[in-house]
Amino acid sequence: MGRKSNGNDGFWLTEKSDRARLRDAENARRNRAEITKALSHGKISRRDLVKWGLFTTGGLMLPIGGLSPFVRPVHAASFSSGGSGSCEPMPTGLPPSPTFGVQAFTAPMPRFDVLPRSAPSILNPGPTVESNQTQQSVDPALVGGQTGLTGPIEGRPPGPNWAHQRYAEFQPQVAIEVVTKPGTTNTVYNPGVTSDLNSGINQNSPFPPAFNPNFPVQNANRVWTFNGTFPPKLMQSRYGEPVLFRHHNALPTDITDNGGFGRYTLTTHEHNGHHGAENDGFTGAYFWPNEFYDYHYPWTLAGFTTINTDAIDPRAGSPTDAGGILNVPGDWHETMSTHWFHDHMFTFTDQNVYKCNAGMNNIYSSLDRGNESLKDGFNLLLPSGTEKSWGNLDYDVNLMLADKAWDSNGQLTMDILAFEGFLGDQMTVNFAWKPFFNVYARRYRFRILNASVSRFFALALSDSSNMVQIANDGNLLPLTVNLPQTDQLGIAERYDIVIDFSRYTAGQTVDLVNLQQMSNGQLPGPVLSVSEALGGGSCDPCVGPFLRFNIIGPPPAADQSLDVSGGGKGVTLIPNPTLPTVVRQRTFTFDDFAQITTNDPVTTYTGSGPWGIGTNNDGGSFGGGSALKADFGRLSSQPGFGTCEEWTLQGGFNWDHPIHIHFEEGQIISRNGNPPSPAESGRKDVYRLRPDGKVVLRMQFRDWNGMFMMHCHNTMHEDNAMLLRWDVNSGGSPSVNPLPTPISKPTGVTFEAPDEILPNA
Ligand SMILES: [Cu+2]
């Protein structure tokens, strides 16, 4: 069973800690910096760290004085997990992040920056069904100094197996073009709302990449974001309107120019899009600086090949510009609303997402229109606005929560050796440190995303008043839930919450509070009460209020949105789809002390990280064998095309893994033998296991083909190496089975046979 904490992790240092401890931590940080630099530059491997005796094979840093900030004198006080006591702990593995004398809640929270939607004709060159293999010269820095080499302009793997599926049927109608590049000032910020709805921010003022206007601006190599800028980016999509998302990689070709963390290769996952694997950001299908990758998002409802194929049900539909509904095929019970997108680079996802390479995507449908006044019997009238026929953002607000840490110069920093999980000591919302947000006294919808590396949250209002949860992950709930505080929000999970500010008057404030105490990155600690969290006694600096709502007065127009509280009883939003007969059951165990059975230098995890997944008792200590470390050339499962399977996910003692299964939404059948709670009774794409927890879920494998993933979304665990590949088995048509593994190089993607196919795959 899972290993217990070694007692050396989970210590916070605060600015009040004694000087000797802080000095030791700073010295340890400096010594570790040399190692992490070499590691992040690819000059040494994680395996070398074990060889040199710095790490155990289990991935724990040995307590070597002068290297580990966790080495403490014998007389040091032991860690108190309660709300008070000595605050020694320091899970960042770094000295405390300074706040430069700035007070919390003095700077506005920026709304997301809406990505322009263009006609596909603006794309040059035009998109192609198969990857565009037009050659260009390769920067020698990418190929060990070799000159005269050429590579493709598009990094998508070539050939028919990676061609856009059903492209002719779902011709792109909208182009969204983005560039991931080093941090720079935003001069084209578009919040999609007027300034009064954006806390007074003037969108025409240059917006530098800083976590607060009075903090230092981030150096170019510390943040790598979509379009290189803050705030985070928002896509707006509609069902029935296929999008061509062209993603350019403009990161430095010098692998060492990364500010100490982050890898210059990219692969972007639209979490949790239902589309072919060529568009899914497969972890091994990464692309290089100076290349682009065309992702084709068809925006189809799951089941479109077998259910409502004639598109006769307007509940399966898309909002038209004229305020009507465009019917689309598929199951309306599968309608999704709140997604995000982020890098998925093999073994570097944690660093690249932490570097701010993440955005969100709102998907609009006939049910979830982004218009609160169009009453046609289908629109659910969720808080949004009325001006546009669809996609109003006035009262529909994206919140990206992430803990961060920065060095004494205010530059974003990370302990990439914290294999058990990395925690920051500062809270950010939409890349802003502890901001305020001005609201009118009416209902607002907040689409809340946990974009942390390893941190869990639990949210409440500072006056303990009720909120209404309307969605879990991408999906509107069967029945809304009134709650004074949320369940734990695992990494990558999304909760859509409606807060009714009409109970407040102008000049009042109420804070969003994090109740979830963490003392290490392996699992959440206790959820504190609101008064404990507000009391300031927690050792965890990210506990407490982190976003202040200032109520500025009555709304300019009457609130026409649905009262989703249903008078305390909840209201019906989207009932669950009916699941077909289960054709196969599988068990996966999420474990440590994992083995690596393959040795392909490209596809195989070669580090010292402890994590792995056991499949169907082919591995995993729960089944008597061993969990396996990630190899994207290994095929762990091959569910049949068009089938429904039941998967049991088993977690370990003293760990909590939020497990993400790509491709289609599932339904939790049971959690430790009990039915799921009301707030997780809808469809899900991330399944939080909880310590020693067992989740049984059912999901379908239909409509599209290819290779997909399942992994822990504690991205430190994912990258070290709790990730597996599964392929849809379509019987050889349209794509071959098993699919060859893509091997990405600056000179082009080649293929090789799978390294391993597990016996029960
Ligand atoms: Cu995990």
CA-wise closest residue to 82 among 537, 400, 504 = 537
CA gap 352, 286 in Å, rounded: 13
pLDDT in tens, 367-379: 999 999 999 999 9
Q: How confident is the model at residue 519 (pLDDT cuts 50, 70, 90)?
A: confident
How does DSSP classify residue 519? S
Strand 756-757 with 634-637, pairing: parallel
Mean per-residue pLDDT, 646-674: 96
CA of 667 to the centre of ligand 1 (A): 20
CA of 392 to the centre of ligand 1 (A): 36
CA of 419 to the centre of ligand 1 (A): 10
Q: Measured in whole angstroms, how far is the alpha carbon of residue 462 from the centre of its chain?
A: 26
Mean pLDDT of the chain: 91
CA gap 230, 201 in Å, rounded: 13
The radius of gyration of the chain from alpha carbons, rounded to an integer in Å, stands at: 24
Indicate if the pLDDT at residue 75 is higher than 60. Answer: no
Q: What is the pLDDT of residue 34?
A: 67
CA of 187 to the centre of ligand 1 (A): 38
pLDDT in tens, 675-708: 999 999 999 999 999 999 999 999 999 999 999 9
Q: What is the pLDDT of residue 9?
A: 33
CA of 229 to the centre of ligand 1 (A): 30
CA of 717 to the centre of ligand 1 (A): 5
Structure tokens at 100: 């430069």
Q: How confident is the model at residue 349 (pLDDT cuts 50, 70, 90)?
A: very high
Q: What is the pLDDT of residue 94?
A: 75
Quickly count: other Cβ atoms within 10 Å of residue 120's Cβ. Answer: 17
β-partners of residue 589 are 614, 650
CA of 423 to the centre of ligand 1 (A): 13
CA of 576 to the centre of ligand 1 (A): 28
Q: Structure pTM? A: 0.92
Mean per-residue pLDDT, 151-164: 97
pLDDT in tens, 581-593: 999 999 999 998 8
Please give the C-alpha separations between residue 279 and each of 246, 394, 706, in angstroms, as whole numbers. Answer: 11, 31, 10
Are the CB atoms for 244 and 296 separated by under 8 Å? yes
Structure tokens at 289: 């600086």
CA-wise closest residue to 739 among 352, 161, 125 = 161
Structure tokens at 171: 């011709």
pLDDT in tens, 236-290: 999 999 999 999 999 999 999 999 999 999 999 999 999 999 999 999 999 999 9
Q: What is the pLDDT of residue 593?
A: 83
Q: Does residue 32 or residue 437 have the better pLDDT?
A: 437
Share of the chain above pLDDT 70, in %: 87
CA of 589 to the centre of ligand 1 (A): 11
State phi, psi for 154 to the nearest 5 degrees. -110, 135
Mean per-residue pLDDT, 532-539: 92
Contacting residues for 596 by C-beta, under 8 A, at least 6 apart: 604, 605, 606, 628, 629, 631, 721
How does DSSP classify residue 738? S
**Looking at 92-96, 199-203, 271-275, 295-299, which range is the least confident one?**
92-96
Q: What is the pLDDT of residue 46?
A: 67
CA of 632 to the centre of ligand 1 (A): 18
CA of 320 to the centre of ligand 1 (A): 41
CA-wise closest residue to 306 among 330, 273, 336, 333 = 330
Contacting residues for 318 by C-beta, under 8 A, at least 6 apart: 238, 239, 240, 241, 299, 325, 326, 328, 364, 365, 366
- Rounded to the nearest 5 degrees, what angle is found at the Cα of 739, between the Cα atoms of 736 and 742? 135
